[in-house]
Structure 1
Amino acid sequence: MENLETFKHIYQRACERKGGPQALLTIIDKPLTNHKLSQIGDDRFLAEFSKKVFQSGFVWRVVRNKWPDFERMFFDFNIEKILLIPDEMLEQKAADPSIIRNYTKVKTIRDNAIMIDAVAREHGSFAKFVADWPSEDIIGLWAYLKKHGARLGGNTGPYGLRAMGKDTFLLTNDVVGYFTKRNIISGSAQSKRSLTAIQQSFNELQQQSGRSLQELSMIISKSVGDNYI
């Protein structure tokens, strides 16, 4: 890609900004292996997606503090039990002050349980489905979650995947700013054209470096933007 820097240049700038290779290493995380990811219970995926749905547009700290009550209220996100929750019970749970009272978001818990269950029936488990999805088309997995899940579009689905350990880049302000400044994308970063260009860029950087999408995403973010050490 013509306007894309080499990984070497991006990495050197990130090291210079963060105090050297060792300092940079301490703030760069790696994703789980596909094997470890495939062993995670599907209930944990539902829990994390639900958490990210509630955190979207809300104070993350408040959601984290209330999360034990969410776990209790929704049977530790047991898929089979949640699939059996009738509308009336969902409404009752959504009105409980121990959680965040937002019926629209509460409904996504059951909706996403339906998606996860359908995938698990076809692929053995939702975790295996996610683990097997190729990183060179991670935007395809994002699109799947947006189409078949509830309120998992935008950054919500990708942040949920990253939290679970799936190798994915994230469209943070710094990452979007980098690709915009390099004229690799213009307009919305969420457009199909922009997403494709960003995926192709990450694939190229991955071929150069042998690093995961997660590492590359974090290194790019550390190479630009406000420099907090």
Structure 2
Amino acid sequence: MEYETFEALYQRACERKGGEQALEAMLGKPKSADELKAIGDDRFLAEFSKKIFQSGFVWRVVEQKWPAFEECFFGFDIDKVLLMPDEMLERKAANPDIIRNFNKVKTIRDNALMIDTVRKQHGSFGHFIADWPGNNIIGLWEYLKKHGARLGGNTGPYALRFVGKDTFLLSQDVESYLRAYNLIEGGLTSKRNLQAIQQYFNQLAAQSGRSLQELSRIIAFSVGDNITQQ
């Protein structure tokens, strides 16, 4: 299949967002490998947990309550969280200062266990994340879904984006683009579709030298209802 080139995408996004300078200001940059390796394991657990609580909820409310989460769960210290018995998790889940959802609270310990397993093998979770190749970012998504708790769908990818790992996101605008250009059909996250999406992003990256994050945003800004008035 003949896909749209990066140049065509980029030019349309520039036209829609008010020019090249305006577009570039919106793209942002992922963290470098060294910056990712410097992130503490607790911060990965915090971001995974935040995105789990934000899933299906008002993000702003979660942000407002997040200092209470940090205090309640010992700053997401992996070793301390792993020592929490079920009874303590139940008490924490009843705390009115946080969002009282026991099923989501339980994922904090579950994901701490995943991070602990990885850090024993790789030195730190940050090293594991930094070393994962961008040309198979869907493989990292699958790892988080399989070995973590409630990190499937968009939750894991959004957590990776917010912590600084280079990843594309399957937002509504990106999905609309992929379907409009017949890059995918059927379920968005089928194995076949994910492989096709990764292949397309790899092709765009080879053409442009851009990060997956930049490419994802360029695609989103090239379609949809987010036109900036000029």
**TM-score bracket for this pair, using the shorter chain length:** over 0.9
2:108 maps to: 109
Q: Does 1:73 align with 2:72?
A: yes
* Cα distance per residue 1:71-112 (max 9 Å; x no partner): 000000000000000000000000110000000000000000
Separation in structure 1 between the aligned mates of residue 17 and residue 193 of structure 2, nearest angstrom: 28
SS of the residue aligned with 2:26? coil
| Aligned pairs for 1:40-119 within 5 A | 40-119=39-118
2:137 maps to: 138
2:205 maps to: 206
| Aligned pairs for 1:1-229 within 5 A | 2-229=1-228
Separation in structure 2 between the aligned mates of residue 152 and residue 3 of structure 1, nearest angstrom: 33
Offset of residue 25 of structure 1: 0.8
Separation in structure 2 between the aligned mates of residue 62 and residue 228 of structure 1, nearest angstrom: 28
Separation in structure 2 between the aligned mates of residue 79 and residue 18 of structure 1, nearest angstrom: 42
Offset of residue 177 of structure 1: 0.7
Separation in structure 1 between the aligned mates of residue 2 and residue 221 of structure 2, nearest angstrom: 19
Offset of residue 187 of structure 1: 1.3
* Cα distance per residue 1:137-157 (max 9 Å; x no partner): 000000000000000000000
Separation in structure 2 between the aligned mates of residue 47 and residue 64 of structure 1, nearest angstrom: 12
| RMSD (CA atoms) | 0.6
Letter in 1 for 2:223: V
* Cα distance per residue 1:12-63 (max 9 Å; x no partner): 0000101110010111111001111111001000000000000000010110
Offset of residue 170 of structure 1: 0.1
SS of the residue aligned with 2:57? coil
SS of the residue aligned with 1:150? coil
Separation in structure 2 between the aligned mates of residue 203 and residue 69 of structure 1, nearest angstrom: 40
Separation in structure 2 between the aligned mates of residue 227 and residue 177 of structure 1, nearest angstrom: 13
Q: Percent of aligned positions with the same letter in both sequences?
A: 68
Number of aligned residue pairs: 228
SS of the residue aligned with 1:176? helix
Letter in 1 for 2:131: D
Letter in 2 for 1:189: L
* Cα distance per residue 1:154-190 (max 9 Å; x no partner): 0000000000000000000000110111111011111
Q: Is the 8 A contact 1:139 1:195 kept in 2?
A: yes
SS of the residue aligned with 2:31? coil
Q: Is the 8 A contact 1:46 1:113 kept in 2?
A: yes
Q: Is the 8 A contact 1:3 1:184 kept in 2?
A: no
Separation in structure 2 between the aligned mates of residue 116 and residue 136 of structure 1, nearest angstrom: 23
Separation in structure 2 between the aligned mates of residue 79 and residue 51 of structure 1, nearest angstrom: 15
SS of the residue aligned with 1:179? helix
Offset of residue 4 of structure 1: 1.6
Separation in structure 2 between the aligned mates of residue 227 and residue 90 of structure 1, nearest angstrom: 42
Letter in 2 for 1:72: E
